[in-house]
Amino acid sequence: MARPSNRRPGYSRRAQYGLFFGYVAAVSGAAIALLLLILSAVDPNGFGALKGAISDATLPITAGGRWVVQRSSDAGGSIGSYINAAGHVRQLQAEAKENQTKLIEARALAFENARLKRLLGITERGTRPVAVARLVGSTGSSIRRYAILNAGYLNGVRSGMPVRGPGGLVGRIASAGAISARVSLITDGGMIVPVRRVPDGTPAIATGTGDGLIDIRALGAENTTFRRGDVFVTSGAGGVYPPNVPVAIINRVTRESFFARPVSDPAALDFAIVEPVYQPQVEVQRRILPPLPGQ
Q: Which CATH architecture best describes the domain 131-274?
A: Beta Barrel (2.40)
Q: At what angle do helices 44-125 and 13-42 cross, to 10 degrees?
A: 80
Q: Give the tens place of pLDDT for each residue, 130-155.
A: 998 888 877 655 567 888 888 998 99
pLDDT at 281: 66
Strands (E), the chain: 131-138, 146-149, 162-164, 169-176, 181-185, 192-198, 203-208, 214-218, 231-234, 246-253, 258-262, 271-274
pLDDT at 10: 46
Return the higher-pLDDT residue of 41 and 260.
260
Determine the average pLDDT of the residues in 3-18.
Answer: 60
Count CB atoms within 10 A of the CB of residue 246: 19
pLDDT of 283 > 60? The answer is no
What residue spans define the domains of the chain? 131-274
Determine the average pLDDT of the residues in 278-285.
Answer: 64
**Confidence bin at 59 (pLDDT 50/70/90):** low
Determine the average pLDDT of the residues in 203-229.
Answer: 86
Cβ-count burial of 7 within 10 angstroms (0-12 exposed, 13-18 middle, 19+ buried)? Answer: exposed
Return the higher-pLDDT residue of 33 and 246.
246
| CB within 8 Å of 134: residues ≥ 6 apart | 149, 150, 270, 271, 272
Determine the average pLDDT of the residues in 213-226.
Answer: 82
d(CA 107, CA 112): 9
**How does 30-67 read in b/e, with b if 16+ C-beta sit within 10 Å?**
eeeeeeeeeeeeeeeeebeeeeeeeeeeeeeeeeeeee
Residues 46 and 39: beta-carbon distance below 8 Å: yes
Q: Give the tens place of pLDDT for each residue, 27-37.
A: 777 777 777 67
Determine the average pLDDT of the residues in 202-225.
Answer: 85
**Confidence bin at 42 (pLDDT 50/70/90):** confident
- Exposure on the CB side of residue 179, measured as CA atoms within 13 A: 1
d(CA 69, CA 57): 20
| CB within 8 Å of 189: residues ≥ 6 apart | 143, 144, 145, 208, 209, 210
What is the residue-averaged pLDDT of the chain? 77
First to last CA, the chain: 177
pTM given for the model: 0.55
pLDDT at 14: 72
pLDDT of 207 > 90? The answer is yes
| CB within 8 Å of 155: residues ≥ 6 apart | 130, 131, 133, 179
Return the higher-pLDDT residue of 224 and 240.
240
Amino acid (1-letter code) at residue 251: N
Lowest mean pLDDT among 104-108, 169-173, 221-225: 104-108
pLDDT of 233 > 80? The answer is yes
pLDDT of 172 > 50? The answer is yes
